Structure formats: structure tokens, C-alpha cells
Homo-oligomer: A and B are copies of this chain.
């Protein structure tokens, strides 16, 4: 069987992670990067060629799946429908509330082009979502909980950096151990936003800035911090670089349910990731394999991870999977 030809649109943390992850999957071959920047200015990790996104339509017969690595706020709502008209695609659209809109846009474009487009791959949405669905289906009488962390939230770190007098900052989302213990006990607790997570902020202030004003502004920031127990620790730029350069993340999906006879069950799924973007990239690459297989079977339109039979994520044959992993 010939290798799956994968291209990458967008070359940030995720695009680079996808390029690297393809190296670990011998049934795939990386074709090229497409960028909106000047291709000449980009040096790829593995030396694959870089082309302008303006010319992407010239490559439709050279690419089996295009993995789109852009931001959910402004990039993917435009880019995924556009590219799904030309290629089979995978994106990591992660604005949960706007998934139905993205699905509708991408479904229309992909069907018009006769292609298959997977949206919202990754770990949340993605692997966590799969586990929420399976656990709820198996334990219909029960409650589901998702905890995130301990890990760096890019959105919250950005919010810190927008505070006047903040030079740089990193924010960690931290699940509350007591809340997790309560969930694991099977007591189906009602948990508020504050009960579930705390937020730890490491902030480098501009010289002479009013630290107590910065701390107050952070802790009172609506949506981001006001609903949480938030700690603010001022550190030096050197310490931030030394101790907080990594991008770890992770989390837990736990469902606690009860049988009709009153017996309890706990299903727990967890991730512990040294590099959030590299792990997300690994999921996108495995997903691209499934998209290539489903597209080859004639499937078109938009799908999510909910529509993918697990076997298709694997490079192994159905026979091999049944014999070795069932």
C-alpha cells in the first residue's frame, strides 16, 4: 500500500509538531508546508519544502490529507472551509461553543468539493470528547466531570500579558485534589467552577509597576480569573525563562455511574503531557490516517472524532488489531 501523503497548512507550534509526528509514522510521508508568510523565511524541522498558501490549489493531486494548523478564533473558521473544498482535511478547532457553526460551514464546503473534513481533533475536543461519549453511553445513570491540568493555558497567559504593567507571564490551570477525590468516591458531587480548578499566575512586572494593582486587576478579571481561586506570584524574567518555558498540560475525564441494582462504577481517562502542542499534533496525525481511509471508502462532508471507528486510527490491519490488541 502506498504511503499517505500529508501536507501541513500553517507552521507554528502545532504545524511543527505535526511535521515531527509524521516521522514516527512510517505509513505516512510529509509533502510540504503551506504558509501565509514568506516561504523563504521558514526553516522546517525536517527540511520538507515550504510553499505559499496562495498556490495551494496547484497541489490537489499530490496530497491525500491536509492538516490545518491555525487558531480557532480567526484562522480556522475561514481556512478550513476553504481548504476542505480542495483537499481531505483535519483541523483542531477548539472553540467548543462554536463547533456546530464550524461543522455546518465545513460540511458544505467539503461536500461541494467531494472531500472529507475532520474538525475538532486533538485531546479536548478530541480524545476527551470520545471518552465523554463512551462513558455516558455505558453508564447512563451518572455524572461526568472534566478536569484540566496541571498545565499551561495559552489563553489565560495571554490575558495576563494584556494587563498594564505586565511584561511577561505564564498561567497554570490546576485541578483541585479534593474535588477529584470526591468525584472518584462516586458521590456525584455538584461542583462549581471555583471548586474544580485553581489558577496559578507567574508574572514578570515592568520595572516600577504597581504590583498590588496588577494583582488586583488579575484576580478581578471576569471570565478568566474572577470565578477562581487565583494566586499571583511575581518573579524575575530569568526565573520565568528557566522554570516556566515548557508547555505541559493534561487532564481527566471521569464518569461515575450506578447500575439499576445500585452498584457503582468509575470510568477515568487521563492525560499527562510534557508538551501540549506536540501531543495535539500526534492526535492530528493519527486522525489524518483515519481520514485518508474513510475518504478512500468514498465518505465526504464534515466529521468529528465521534464518527471514526478506532481501528482506522491505527496503521495495523483489522486482522492484526484483533489478534494483538483486542
Contact = CB atoms under 8 A, between A and B. Distances in A.
Interface in A243-275: 257, 259-261, 263-275
A101 to B, nearest CB: 10
A127 B17 CA distance: 29
A24 B141 contact: yes
A295 interface: no
A309 interface: yes
Given A261-B275, A308-B309, A100 B322 contact: yes
Nearest to A184: B272
Contact of A286 (B138, B271, B279, B322): B138
Given A25-B140, A134-B127, A137-B289, A273 B268 contact: no
Candidate in A265, A282, A319, A326 with the most chain B CB atoms within 10 angstroms: A326
Nearest to A313: B137
Contacts of A168: none
Interface of A: 17, 20-21, 23-25, 96, 99-100, 103, 120, 125, 127, 129-134, 136-141, 184, 257, 259-261, 263-275, 278-279, 281-283, 286, 289, 304-311, 313-315, 318-319, 321-323, 325-326
- Please give me the 8 A-B residue pairs with the lowest Cβ-Cβ distance, nearest first: A263-B275, A306-B311, A137-B313, A20-B260, A263-B274, A266-B272, A137-B286, A259-B278
A325 B269 CA distance: 15
A15 to B, nearest CB: 14
A307 B312 CA distance: 8
Q: How many copies does the complex hold?
A: 2
Contact of A259 (B25, B141, B279): B279
Q: Majority SS of interface residues in chain A?
A: helix
22 contacts: A17-B259, A20-B259, A20-B260, A24-B141, A99-B323, A120-B326, A127-B134, A127-B267, A129-B325, A130-B134, A131-B269, A137-B286, A137-B314, A184-B272, A257-B282, A259-B282, A261-B278, A264-B274, A265-B273, A265-B279, A305-B310, A306-B311
